[in-house]
Amino acid sequence: MSYKRIFHAYPEACTGCRMCEIVCSLNREKTGINPKRSMIRIHEDSQKGIYIPTTCHLCNDAPCIEVCPSAALSKNIETGAISVDEENCSGCELCIEACEFGAISLHQDKNIAVMCDLCGGEPKCVKYCMQKALIFLKPEEYDAMKSDAYLEK
Amino acid sequence: MFTSGWMGKVLRVDLTNGKISTEPLKEELMLNFIGGRGINSSLLYSETGPATDPLGGDNKLIIGTSPLTGTLVPTSSRFTITAKSPLTGILGDANVGGAFAPELKYAGFDFIIIQGISNNPVYLWIEDDRVVIKDAAYLWGKTTQETDRMIKEEIGDKEIRVLSIGLAGENLVKIAGIVTGVNIAARCGLGAVMGSKKLKAIAVKGSHTINISHPDKMLKLVDTIFEDYKTCQSWNWYPKLGWTTGQRGMGLSGCAPIKNYLVSGGNDYEKRQAFLDVETSEKYRFKDIACFSCPLACNKWLHMDKLGMKKAPAPGTGHMAIWEIYDYPFHVEVNDLCEAYGMDIYSVQGAISAAMEWYEKGIITKKETDGMEVKFGNKDAAISLIHKIAKREGFGNILAEGPIMAGKIIGADPDTTPACGYGKGTDHGPIDCTSMAMLTLALSVSTRGGGHTRCTPPMAWWGEETTVPERWKKIYRNAGAEEIMNKPWICHPVIADIVTYFETTNTSADIIEICKNTMEYYYFYGFKGIEIKDDLEWHAEWIEAVTGANVDRQYMETVAKRVLNLEKAYNVREGKLREDDMPSHRFMEKRRGEPLPLDGKSLDEKELQCLFDAYYEIHGWDPKTSVPKRKTLEDLGLSYVADDLESKVLRLT
């Protein structure tokens, strides 16, 4: 098994409050907040009521890892998170292009690729999502949630 | 003292000569007024005055955020827009949520001051420190939603945030508001101020970060409040009921008026019930939407067969009984029209309901109403009037002056055929406080004219003791005021104390720009955090965590009182005294005693006057005139205001 947990976003439950973006940018920048620096982004069309949370999908055969010419990206077997080696990343943006979810961005000051690191295993965005639009569960917890929902129907 | 939270810059734009300048945010302002409504009111006091024409170039449109804006503090997305009001001629401000204020801060500005008048329609485009005045000829005449979309298309960016006026603001309709996203800064006619400056919109995008002094402390506070949210009543109500929250209690309390307040509400409860049910909500609702950094998400998108996707009307406007119309899709349509035109739905409800009474009583005829039968229950006439008000066409041109002024123009008797309001020329939405002494006082003394968000104390809704939170029951009992727990129309002097307390906490919330749903406000009784520390302590801790300033409860209270006194002084300088604080006479009449508990109950006018005496006394204001005493102002560090009042208006006691 390549990763332990399931990271999921439910666009229909997302209200666009951006708590996830705020807390992520605070966590990454330590004292500064701007949602545009977050590793989870809400893509919105507010006049249509559409809010889609987008972040790293923890792909098994991750195109971003494959495409990196300097082998700066690697996958953590334990958590499933893909991390960027700041030393090796040249800022060539190939991974950004390769990711079909738009989950990788270029750090505004450092000029390297940045992406979700699952906050080391306990993603803050999930913790601060009151609408439960984001979940991060072990496979067995996820199964239990699904079967509970099915039984309720 | 304030090291973080602030961006430290004020943007000033003079539209007459196109001059754009940046000023540092003065330390003195931060210390004395903290932010938001506080600094706004202070700026308005020093930059405008009795000689200022609300629709002239010398009026200032001030947009203010707080150090908490754009941070993780829940419901901290709000901001205040302030100007001298064209509707009332006194202090005018409107508070609104959405995502504009955080974006403004990310762009590097805490405040915007707009002055002067442009020759042709323009909009302001702020991208970080680059500010440009752009041509808005192609936007003029467009609805607020169209403006939002077209600016995003022109600039080619979906992430920008737009603040705009609709046709009503352009046409200087005095009940026009300013719209951002699905939210409107509605009250006091500030849309007309923006329209008079020929400023169609402000668009903003920013890439700066807001610094937090003590992120860990902030996170800890957020964790506590998140736990509390899950146990509070509003958290239970909003996901289920959304827009109808509060309506049930109002209906039962006789607080939900019918036919221009001719009936004090309640006896139409069955007809109203249909709107209030969870089933109705589920039938139409397909999406909850939230303001920036708000976990409550009280806005709802609806899907209606004929209308398509529309926003649900806000809770306070939860019915059209004021026009004697019970039709939910119709209500949604009205709400949507008001938002597209950028108009205050409260004032529209007030203006048209008064017109309906005038028509039925023969004060106006088809001659004045352009041939329309403006009767209660006439949906077509109502819709047609909304269009006419926004375009200032025919009879709409009179109603566009606001309900109270329209009554003066057509010569309606303010006692027998009034457009109703709570003092100082402001109408109020469909809330009738006849049976609630506390709410009557709170709304009447509001410094911008009737406004329920300025102070809503805990009362015995529908005369039921159980609706009063335990904490306040004790205070009632200690004051020997048990009887008001099931007879809320009785004017016990303790009411003045309680109103003063909640006025202070709500002012403090406006200063730090958080939503009143994160307070011991009327929908938030379940909030356990309040038992540990009260609102002012919470506010002080938020400010401390974000800015690093060493502030405490006492500091917050003093700042709130300072702001209130300054605002009061502004209105006194405009000649508004005690008699201007009084609500319409109709609110003190007994109307219809019907089956529900508080229906037909009303407060006694003489007793109410004693309540006003007590309120002014507590504030250190002269009970005869309601003018702040010199000592009161001096104690709050406002001696310059005292000097100013004495030089311009009158001798202070």
What was the ipTM of the complex prediction? 0.92
Position B429 in a domain: no
Q: Which residue has the tokens 């208006």?
A: B649
| pLDDT for the residue numbered A1 | 43
Report chain B's mean pLDDT, rounded to a whole number: 90
Length of chain A: 153
**CATH number for position B143:** 3.60.9.10
Summarised one tens digit per residue, pLDDT across range B120-143 is 999 999 999 899 999 999 999 999
| pLDDT for the residue numbered B417 | 86
Position B180 in a domain: yes
Report chain A's mean pLDDT, rounded to a whole number: 88
Position B425 in a domain: no
Mean pLDDT, to the nearest integer, of B232-258?
71
| pLDDT for the residue numbered A2 | 44
* Torsion angle of the four alpha carbons B246, B248, B254, B259, in this order, in degrees rounded to the nearest 10: 90
Two structure tokens written together for B218? 């902030």
Confidence of residue B419 (pLDDT cuts 50, 70, 90): confident
Least Cα distance to B376 among B394, B404, B353 occurs for B353
| pLDDT for the residue numbered B239 | 64
Mean pLDDT, to the nearest integer, of B314-332?
80
Total structural domains within chain B? 3
Residue B266 to residue B258: CA distance in whole angstroms: 9
| pLDDT for the residue numbered A60 | 84
Mean pLDDT, to the nearest integer, of B448-465?
82
Whether residue B484 sits in one domain with residue B340 = no
Mean pLDDT, to the nearest integer, of B615-642?
96
Instruction: Using the 3D structure, point to which of B420, B450, B473 is the last residue of a domain.
Output: B420
Beta carbons of A45 and B158 less than 8 Å apart: yes
Confidence of residue B88 (pLDDT cuts 50, 70, 90): very high
Whether residue B442 sits in one domain with residue B310 = no
Whether residue B464 sits in one domain with residue B389 = no
Residue B234 has pLDDT above 80, yes or no: no
Q: What residues are paired with A114 via a beta bridge?
A: A105
Residue B642 has pLDDT above 50, yes or no: yes
Position B179 in a domain: yes
Residue B203 has pLDDT above 70, yes or no: yes
Residue A100 to residue B374: CA distance in whole angstroms: 58
| pLDDT for the residue numbered B111 | 97
DSSP code string of B352-411: HHHHHHHHHTTSS-TTTTTT----TT-HHHHHHHHHHHHHT-TTHHHHTT-HHHHHHHHT
Confidence of residue B173 (pLDDT cuts 50, 70, 90): very high
Whether residue B133 sits in one domain with residue B263 = no
Position B636 in a domain: yes
Residue A134 has pLDDT above 80, yes or no: yes
Two structure tokens written together for B357? 């009474």
Residue B445 to residue B458: CA distance in whole angstroms: 17
Chain B interface test: which of A15, A21, A42, A51 (most B C-beta within 10 Å): A15
Whether residue B262 sits in one domain with residue B163 = no
Q: What residues are paired with B210 via a beta bridge?
A: A33
Position B212 in a domain: no
Mean pLDDT, to the nearest integer, of B230-236?
73
Residue B351 has pLDDT above 70, yes or no: yes
| Residues in chain B within 8 Å Cβ distance of A130 | 226, 229, 295
Whether residue B257 sits in one domain with residue B176 = no
**Interface of chain B against chain A, CB under 8 Å?**
4, 70-72, 74, 99, 102, 106, 145, 148-149, 158-159, 181-182, 206-213, 215, 219, 222, 226, 229, 286-295, 297, 301, 309
Whether residue B626 sits in one domain with residue B516 = yes
| B374-378, B484-488, B573-577: the lowest-pLDDT one | B484-488
Position B216 in a domain: no
Residue of B70, B99, B145 with shortest CB distance to A47: B145
Position B218 in a domain: no
| pLDDT for the residue numbered B381 | 96
- Three-state DSSP string of B44-109: HHHHCCCCCCCCCCCCCEEEECCCCCCCCCCCCCCEEEEEECCCCCCEEEEEECCCHHHHHHHCCC
| B207-211, B423-427, B630-634: the lowest-pLDDT one | B423-427
Residue A3 has pLDDT above 60, yes or no: no
Comparing B531 with A126, which gets the higher pLDDT? A126
Whether residue B257 sits in one domain with residue B167 = no
Least Cα distance to B75 among B502, B534, B539, B518 occurs for B518
Mean pLDDT, to the nearest integer, of A35-50?
87
Residue B520 has pLDDT above 70, yes or no: yes
| Residues in chain A within 8 Å Cβ distance of B234 | none
Beta carbons of A49 and B287 less than 8 Å apart: yes
Residue B317 has pLDDT above 60, yes or no: no
Residue B428 has pLDDT above 80, yes or no: yes
Whether residue B198 sits in one domain with residue B112 = yes
Confidence of residue A148 (pLDDT cuts 50, 70, 90): confident
Whether residue B558 sits in one domain with residue B446 = yes
Whether residue B600 sits in one domain with residue B538 = yes
Domain containing B256 equals 232-420
- Three-state DSSP string of A114-150: ECCCHHHHCCHHHHCCCCCCEEEECHHHHHHHHHHHH
Residue B645 to residue B627: CA distance in whole angstroms: 10
Q: What does each C-alpha distance from B229 to B115, B292, B490, B527, B651 come to in angstroms? A: 41, 17, 33, 7, 49
| pLDDT for the residue numbered B522 | 53
| Residues in chain B within 8 Å Cβ distance of A12 | 287
